[in-house]
Amino acid sequence: MKTRKIGDLEVSALGLGCMSMSSAYGPPADEGDMIRLMRTAHQQGVTLFDTAEAYGPFANEELVGRALAPIRGQVVIATKFGFDIDLQTGERRGGTNSRPEHVKAVAEACLRRLKTDRIDLFYQHRVDPDVPIEEVAGAVKDLIAAGKVGHFGLSEAGVQTIRRAHAVQKVTAVQSEYSLFWRGPETELLPVLQDLGIGFVPFSPLGAGFLTGKIDENTKFNASDFRNSVPRFSPEARKANFALVDLIRRIGDRKGATPAQIALSWLLAQKPWIVPIPGTTKQHGLEENLGAVDIHLLADDLAEIDTALAGIEVQGERLPEAALKMTGR
């Protein structure tokens, strides 16, 4: 497995997003299977594992903690704070909460669940409009000084928020959605990250599974799957958006690669400080994703993709309206 730098943190070129193992994509997967999957990922070179207190809540951090405990010194664990979640019951009280005292309390709870004495990368999950970002960055700075956190990150933050936070405590990485299915970060975010020397960790690099080519307008999701409420995943939008899959499948046929591998390889080719975190609950999905690191898209391939993308208008918003209002602040 090749490695990359996000800020001054060295990690595998592809990380593993762990959210789908416990939440959002239907019923939780079998715990034993997921522990084996994470350990297999590490055996194949993955060193960055991504979780959050909100995934469950708490269930995903506890799972990741159990899985990685025997290899804790060999991996980088990223988790997140920022939602208003009761630390005792796990009840989601709605909205965000990044008050400094809450951030510090969340950190202590995360450390216990992750069975560790240090969070390697601690992201603010969503920007809290009621707490100045300088106060949030200051709270994380205190945690770093105390040795409880290694690096500070932001998720789905706007560029001015990133600049303000970075002025107080160096931001190592920003995590936001980015893929052939959603190229919004290219306009403002990527240039600012390059200017500040901040790494980028795209979540949903396979468009929540759409870019694998295994989802079409007839696919039925589990009742608890978040994609049921996403405009981009309406049957009509899926039918229209399949043009994207046809494009990367054509490229893949030439390269002996799957659509998922082309989608991930395209992301890796955008910047050397981009580290996607595709999620999976299947061994074959893990192996397919990791194979993308060895796919080399030439300049002609990338130009062909860019030209074709110019003629494809992706249908539907990437998130429900309420969730969109919490991004880019």
**Crossing angle (nearest 10°) for helices 133-145 and 159-168:** 40
- The pLDDT value recorded for residue 14 is 98
69 Cβ contact partners less than 8 Å away, ≥ 6 residues apart: 115
For the segment 237-246, the average pLDDT, to the nearest whole number, is: 97
Give the per-residue pLDDT at 169: 98
Residue 214 CA to its chain's centroid (Å): 20
3-324 classified as CATH 3.20.20.100 = yes
Instruction: Give the rounded distance of the alpha carbon of 261 from its chain centre.
Output: 17
- Is 123 assigned a catalytic role? no
pLDDT band with cut points at 50, 70 and 90 for residue 276: very high
- Given 25, 55, 123, 178, the catalytic residue: 55
Which tens digits make up the pLDDT trace of 65-124?
999 999 999 999 999 999 999 999 999 998 999 999 999 999 999 999 999 999 999 999
Mean pLDDT computed over every residue of the chain: 98
H or E element at residue 315: none
For tokens 């009761």, the residue is 86
| Position 3, amino acid | T
pLDDT in tens, 53-67: 999 999 999 999 999
Mean pLDDT across 190-211: 98
| Rounded CA separation 265/294 (Å) | 8
| pLDDT given at position 260 | 98
Q: What single-letter amino acid sits at 234?
A: S
DSSP state letters, 235-279: HHHHHHHHHHHHHHHHHHHHHT--HHHHHHHHHHHH-TTB----B
- Summarize pLDDT for 156-165 with one digit per residue, the tens: 999 999 999 9
Q: Any idea what DSSP says for residue 167?
A: H
Query: What pLDDT is stored for residue 94 in this prediction?
Result: 81
Mean pLDDT score, 278-289: 98
Q: Which two tokens stand for residue 293?
A: 């690191």
Three-state DSSP at 314 gives: coil
Query: How far is the C-alpha of 83 from the C-alpha of 250, rounded, in Å?
Result: 41
Express the helix, strand and coil content of the chain in percent, nearest 5 each. Answer: 45, 20, 35
Q: What is the pLDDT of residue 156?
A: 98
Express as a percent the part of the chain with pLDDT over 70: 100
Could you please report the per-residue DSSP string of 113-163? HTTSS-EEEEEESS--TTS-HHHHHHHHHHHHHTTSEEEEEEES--HHHHH
Per DSSP, the three-state class of 61 is: helix
State whether residue 177 is helix, strand or coil.
strand
Query: For residue 178, how many C-alpha atoms fall within 13 Å in the half-sphere facing its CB?
Result: 27
pLDDT at residue 140, as a whole number: 99
- How much of the chain exceeds pLDDT 90, in percent? 99
